[in-house]
Amino acid sequence: VNDSNGEAALELVYQLVEKLIKAATSPILGIGIGAPGLMNPEQGIVRKSVSLEWQDLPLRNLLETRYSLPVYIANDSQVAALAEYTFGGSSQKTSSLVVVKIGRGVGAGIVIDGQLHYGDGYGAGEIGHVMVVENGERCLCGHLGCLETVISSRAIISRAKTIAQSNPASSLHNFVDTPEAITTDIVLEAFNTGDTELQEAVAELGRYLAISVANLVGVLSIRHVLIGGSLARFGETLVEPMRQEIRQRVQATQASETCVNIATLGTDIVILGAASLLLNYELGLV
Ligand SMILES: [Zn+2]
């Protein structure tokens, strides 16, 4: 929601949980959390979240002690995939899908044969810190050219700032007084006015994302790829260049069978995923 990290981000989690507990009108089953980064869902530990600056944070213990409720945590992109699989409205029910969630960071959740695939160490789909730009920009994780340096809310905001600074006629100036005030929502508003520079920037993001997705398609042979998270609001401008690029990178037969679309669940996708995690563990429902 905002740019907090470290202790401040944890404080926000407490505030949010307290607000939700107050607002609840029926007994609370527990707390489900989807958080970015490498998780250990068994121990309830955030092993490493680059964007939140959390390392080895025992989030489940902290919350269980504070609120005396059962707590389940998992990676946000992984629970997004679970949500789309469980509640999503994709026209044909499919047993396997990938959800790529793009917000502050980027990650993928992978459902194979109806099961969320966690991988060894629970890091399956952690594509955000895999390099896509040779000698690219320095990432928060310390490496160069990670996918997250070119596709994340931080990346699009930084790109928009550069556009605003270099082009006095940019439509961004209609929404903010200074480039420093640009947020993802501002970029989206300017984008929606038909700003061609921003549209080209978004298309370029799509082409970078296609590098990672093409590799996932090649490795997993999964046909349904859905894009979720706050940057999914760029819609077809993001997705159509991805489809074109994937056709260049995946062999024709496989590429023609690959469907890339915007996720059917909106910005609540992680919340729904965290809820299905809870229902699954507590009631065995999902
Ligand atoms: Zn990185």
The alpha carbon of 113 and the centre of ligand 1 are apart by a number of angstroms equal to 30
List the chain pLDDT tens, one digit each, 286 residues: 456 788 999 999 999 999 999 999 999 999 999 999 999 999 999 999 988 899 999 999 999 999 999 999 999 999 999 999 988 886 567 889 999 999 989 999 999 998 899 999 999 999 999 999 999 999 999 999 999 999 999 999 999 999 999 999 999 999 999 999 999 999 999 999 999 999 999 999 999 999 999 999 999 999 999 999 999 999 999 999 999 999 999 999 999 999 999 999 988 999 999 998 898 888 876 5
The alpha carbon of 270 and the centre of ligand 1 are apart by a number of angstroms equal to 22
Q: How far apart are CA 224 and CA 142, in angstroms?
A: 32
The alpha carbon of 135 and the centre of ligand 1 are apart by a number of angstroms equal to 12
The alpha carbon of 142 and the centre of ligand 1 are apart by a number of angstroms equal to 6
The alpha carbon of 258 and the centre of ligand 1 are apart by a number of angstroms equal to 27
Instruction: Evaluate whether 269 touches 107 at the Cβ level (below 8 Å).
Output: no
- What pTM was computed for the model? 0.91
Q: How far apart are CA 195 and CA 232, in angstroms?
A: 17
The sheet with strand 45-49 has its strands ordered as: 38-40, 45-49, 54-57
The alpha carbon of 147 and the centre of ligand 1 are apart by a number of angstroms equal to 7
